[in-house]
Amino acid sequence: MSYATLTQKRPLPLNLLISLFIILWVVLAAFPFFWTVWGSFKVEPDFFSRESWWNAIFGTYTQAQTGGTFTGDGYYGAWVTREFWRAVMNTAIVTVSVTVISLTLGTLGGYALARSGQRYAFWILIAALVFRAMPHITLVSGYLLPFFQLNIWGVLPTSIIVLVAINQPFTLWMLHSFFLSIPKDLDESAMVDGCTRFQAFRMVIIPVMWPGVVTTGLFSFLLAYNDFATTSMLLSADNQTMVPKISSFLGSVQEAGNVMYAVAAVVSATVPLFILVLFFQRQIVSGLTAGAVKG
Amino acid sequence: MAQIRLKNVSKRWNNFVGVDNFNLDIADQEFLVLLGPSGCGKTTTMRMIAGLEDITEGEIWIGDRLVNKLEPKDRDISMVFQSYGLYPNMTVYENIRFPLKVRKVPQDQHHERVMAASKMVELDDFLQRRPAALSGGQRQRVALARAIVREPNAFLMDEPLSNLDAKLRVSTRAQIKNLHHTLKRTTIYVTHDQIEAMTLADRVVVMSKGLIQQVGTPMEIYDRPANTFVASFIGSPAMNLVHGNIADGVFTGDKIRIEGLSKATNGAVTLGFRAEDATLAEGQGQIEAPIYSVELLGEATMISMRVAGELVSIKVGKDYRAEIGDSAKFNVPPAACHLFDRTSGARIVAD
Amino acid sequence: MPHKTFFAFILPSLIAMVLFIALPIVSVVVQSFHVEHQRVLVEVENCQPFGGCTTEVRVDTAAMAKIRAEQPMGMFNGLGTYFNRGHLAVAEVGAILSNNAGFGDAVSRIYNLPFYKALSFTLVFCFVVTPLAMVLGFTIALAVNAVPRAIKGPVIFFSLLPMIITPLIGSLILYWMIQSNGIIGATLQNIFDDPTLSLRQSPALTWGSLLFYGVWTNAPFSFVVFYAGLQTVPGDTLESAMIDGASRWERIRYVIIPHLAPLATFVALVQLMDNFRVFEPIVGFSAESNATSLSWLIFNDLSGDSQLFGSAGATSVITIIGVVILLSPVLVRTWREFNHKVV
């Protein structure tokens, strides 16, 4: 608080500089998204215009080709013609399952790690840290052969389990540090009051842990949602989720002159993230810093 | 009905010794206080009794059951934690009721017992609040109510007053004493505050570095400290300890000379006496030194002076007036002097 | 917590990690010691009524299938894959070092080996993007901390977007803008009056735009962490620095930066780790002809028609070793702290 009050006495030029810088950054951060959203309602010669980007703003060619300044052709092409909705469904299945399973395993494990002072608990955390740093694609190269042989390649459940596992190290670390912030007194008094360890966890700790679980869940969701390396290698073409679908889109639509399908698909995939940040900004920020404070 | 018996109990973490070979019998309905500075092993001892900490060696018996391997919930004890351990998502009522619920006490008894417990600690008006909406003292009473609602074999209390302000501490202390009187349960109470120990305990166990230093009633410990550690830990101010030599019943040191002590010991010793036992001297004084500080306490005046290198406190009447630097003279009656071995610190028994 | 309870709690998560992280690593290592079977060739004599006989060499698919079924891993190759031209290229590097026209020539020839090309981009990406993003993030944090409360929320909202966005999608969005017919690409062509100017054509421009993307997507994380750190700067210390006569800059230099230093180590490590696996932007920018990364090499080996598991395995193992080297300072520090805590 006092920091805020004492920095208010700033000279005008400095204030101007600060405002200018912030405006610049916000434009840098947000403009690409707005531009692409706007452009996704235009036709290709407008959005990708060599003549002048004013075309994209006024929709010159869009007007000429479709009769209106905005068009939903890109979306129709992507969602209906190219069946992007299937990918959306798959993404929904994958992300929801990954988040739920990750959290279930992660809360149990994170709780155990936070409450055990044993040496092996420490080693598990360190191993998790190394696993967390591993590029996912290196693991993928280990999955393919065994999955081919077991004949479980290409289907959603396999990807879900793999994503859950890849997610575990991060989930464990994050929940572990949230659990550490809950006083030990709480589970101990529950156990003295007559609970087993698991009852104490379920009846006393979890109700208090909700904020931490929600925050961690957000990041699990993001990991599953944003994944490209794993899902693009492990899912067959029929079962693709949004991100690999867009990538495989890209090659084929460019040849067919339907880049706008890809643009529309990209915008569609961005919308859920927008909503997520809109509603969970506070949790995301607290999640990022929770990790940081605990180092 | 529960006596608690600890036999050769030890707790070690790798090379660190938390509690070393602890032996104690706690009688049924006794109020026992474990007293010592932080890190002395008192909390660890209590947590071993509660089952929250593994026992490295030894046996703990509650009643006639060996409880070493029992889960906390199976030991039939209840505990009040230093930071209370209240369940923040439950109301006061639900907090107090929780032990009954998880122990499957018949539903129809719940309400009656919760109300009885909350009445005992005067919480009736707050039952529907959550812990976050309570003051420190109220939270403390919720913790107490939760402990007594079940009528267990024994109560364990881990520094329950340390998070309260000074005034509240006095009244809650009285409340705990009264509860013990009413409920007549074995109570083990951990504290680092010697005043709490003196006021509450039937017996006090003074601990340091994982070892029992002395076990006794508050008066025994105050009047006959077993060693210099106990002497310097009990009493406010703590006992004055002065290094010197004794020969032929005469103790001598820098600015101090006391005659008429026991002739049984000769050589280097530590002499102890309490601030209130010294008296102003007329003419020749046994202690004679310039005054270092003068503090008015209201009912008395505390002055301090440097004797044999140590700062010594002496309590005098409230009308006593002196300036810093003035020379002052005092006598200490030989009967009020305690002698300790200089190296081991153990009390030298004079007879 | 008793051992039994501990393992009961952690078992599901442990099983998942062992099965899908630890075992795959083992599998990757084993694969890296194998190569694909050589094709079994048979000579087939093909006689036609009038044209005489020709012999033709064909792949014996039946025999191949049999060998594959017997040894799905392929042939044992020892460290061969590691040293071949596609990876560490020991022989080629040796030849270049013993016979080259000066330092520059040697460097550029080594750079042209696929593994070293990928390694250099990966490292440059790591060590350029991380500090730049941290500096930018810190500056944004300072600036945001200075604006009125009402503006902070929206600024933070927009700042989060580049970080939260799916990497592939984020890079596509930027790529479409900097393409020669996208808004930025076209504008640049106009400004420099050079219709052939394209960020894709020259390696330097491609690297530049990838690095720009990296900073764009990494800065928000530093910003958020530093911003949170700024809220915990002790007001007393700042005020006493003011009374002691420290200027605005000196207060940042001597109070704020030291206070945030531990956070900075954390941010640097997380971002180094994440940037080391840089992969999606290369796909998104279709930049593979000018810039590749270790992760991209693995992806490329695996996604071709003939999946080169041995080659992918070798690159993966080298990458994993790189990660461990990168992490070693943290591991050592954590280990020391842990020992401190116990004793």
What is the tens place of the pLDDT at every residue in C165-185? Answer: 999 999 999 999 988 888 888
Answer yes or no: is A139 within a domain.
yes
**Dihedrals phi, psi of B239, to nearest 5 degrees:** -60, 140
- B85 part of contact set with chain A, CB < 8 Å: yes
What are the pLDDT digits (tens) for B245-279?
Answer: 998 889 998 889 998 888 888 889 999 999 999 98
Average pLDDT, chain B: 91
Number of domains in chain B: 2
> Are residues B140 and B35 located together in one domain of the fold?
yes
What are the pLDDT digits (tens) for C68-123?
Answer: 777 777 778 888 888 888 888 888 888 888 888 888 888 888 888 999 999 999 99
Look-up of token digits 């391997």: B69
What is the CATH number for B295? Answer: 2.40.50.140
CATH number assigned to the domain covering C120-289: 1.10.3720.10
Binned at pLDDT 50, 70 and 90, residue A51 comes out as: confident
Residue range B44-73: mean pLDDT, rounded? 92
Cα nearest neighbour of A207 on chain B: B89
Q: What is the ipTM of this complex?
A: 0.90
- In sequence order, the 6+-apart residues with CB closer than 8 A to the CB of B189 are B31, B32, B33, B34, B156, B157, B160, B176, B196, B200, B201
For residues C68 and C40, the answer to whether their CB atoms sit within 8 Å is no
Which one has a higher pLDDT value, B241 or A9? B241
B-chain residues near C342 (CB < 8 A): 13-14
> Are residues A157 and A232 located together in one domain of the fold?
yes
Answer yes or no: is B195 within a domain.
yes
Residue range C12-22: mean pLDDT, rounded? 93
Binned at pLDDT 50, 70 and 90, residue C55 comes out as: confident
> Are residues A230 and A169 located together in one domain of the fold?
yes
C-chain residues near B14 (CB < 8 A): 342-343
Q: How large a percentage of chain B has pLDDT more than 90?
A: 66
Say whether B73 and A186 touch across the interface (CB within 8 A).
no
Question: d(Cα C309, Cα A233) in Å, to the nearest integer?
Answer: 13
Q: What share of chain A is helix, strand, coil (3-state, %, to 5)?
A: 85, 0, 15
For residues B122 and B179, the answer to whether their CB atoms sit within 8 Å is no
What are the pLDDT digits (tens) for A94-119?
Answer: 999 999 999 999 999 999 999 987 88
Dihedral sign for Cα atoms in the order A173, A174, A180, A183: negative
Domain end among B204, B229, B254: B229
Answer yes or no: is A1 within a domain.
no
C-chain residues near A39 (CB < 8 A): 176
Rounded to a whole number of angstroms, the distance from the CA of C80 to the nearest CA of chain A is 18
Alpha helical stretches, state H, chain C: 3-17, 23-32, 61-70, 80-83, 90-98, 102-111, 114-146, 149-164, 167-178, 183-192, 203-231, 235-243, 248-251, 257-276, 280-284, 294-303, 309-342
Residues from C contacting B (CB-CB < 8 Å) are 2, 342-343
Residues from A contacting B (CB-CB < 8 Å) are 183, 185-186, 188-196, 199, 203-204, 207-208
> Are residues B111 and B224 located together in one domain of the fold?
yes
Domain end among A74, A93, A119: A74
- B49 part of contact set with chain A, CB < 8 Å: no
> Are residues A180 and A48 located together in one domain of the fold?
no
Say whether A288 and C225 touch across the interface (CB within 8 A).
yes
Dihedral sign for Cα atoms in the order C157, C160, C165, C171: positive
Residue-level pLDDT at C82: 87
Residue-level pLDDT at A257: 67
Domain limits at A128? 78-294
Number of domains in chain A: 2
Cα nearest neighbour of B18 on chain C: C343
Residue-level pLDDT at A295: 37
Residue-level pLDDT at C12: 93
For residues A235 and A86, the answer to whether their CB atoms sit within 8 Å is no
Residue range B76-97: mean pLDDT, rounded? 92
Question: d(Cα C189, Cα C321) in Å, to the nearest integer?
Answer: 43
**What stretch(es) of chain C map to CATH 1.10.3720.10?**
120-289
> Are residues A90 and A155 located together in one domain of the fold?
yes
Rounded to a whole number of angstroms, the distance from the CA of A208 to the nearest CA of chain C is 18
**Residue A294: pLDDT over 60:** no
For residues C183 and A56, the answer to whether their CB atoms sit within 8 Å is yes
Binned at pLDDT 50, 70 and 90, residue C341 comes out as: low
Q: Can you read off the two tokens belonging to residue B169?
A: 């501490």
B-chain residues near A208 (CB < 8 A): 87-89
Say whether B85 and A189 touch across the interface (CB within 8 A).
yes
Residue-level pLDDT at C104: 87
Residue-level pLDDT at A291: 62
Rounded to a whole number of angstroms, the distance from the CA of C207 to the nearest CA of chain A is 19
Say whether A131 and C17 touch across the interface (CB within 8 A).
yes
> Are residues A83 and A62 located together in one domain of the fold?
no
Say whether B78 and A192 touch across the interface (CB within 8 A).
yes
Count other Cβ atoms within 10 Å, centred on residue C7.
14
**How far does CA A150 lie from the centroid of its chain?**
30
What are the pLDDT digits (tens) for B110-145?
Answer: 999 999 999 988 888 899 999 999 998 899 999 999
Closest CB to C6 among A48, A112, A292:
A112
Cα nearest neighbour of C267 on chain A: A292
Answer yes or no: is A4 within a domain.
no
Binned at pLDDT 50, 70 and 90, residue A132 comes out as: confident
A-chain residues near C330 (CB < 8 A): 129
- In sequence order, the 6+-apart residues with CB closer than 8 A to the CB of B77 are A192, B49, B50, B62, B152, B153, B154, B155, B156
Q: How large a percentage of chain C has pLDDT more than 90?
A: 38
- A9 part of contact set with chain C, CB < 8 Å: no
**Residue C29: pLDDT over 80:** yes
A-chain residues near C270 (CB < 8 A): 291
Residue-level pLDDT at A292: 53
- A23 part of contact set with chain C, CB < 8 Å: no
DSSP string, B104-136: T--HHHHHHHHHHHHHHTT-GGGTTS-GGGS-H
- In sequence order, the 6+-apart residues with CB closer than 8 A to the CB of C237 are C255, C259
Picking from C3, C340, C341, C343 by the largest number of B CB atoms within 10 A of its own CB, the best residue to mutate is: C343
Rounded to a whole number of angstroms, the distance from the CA of C131 to the nearest CA of chain A is 17
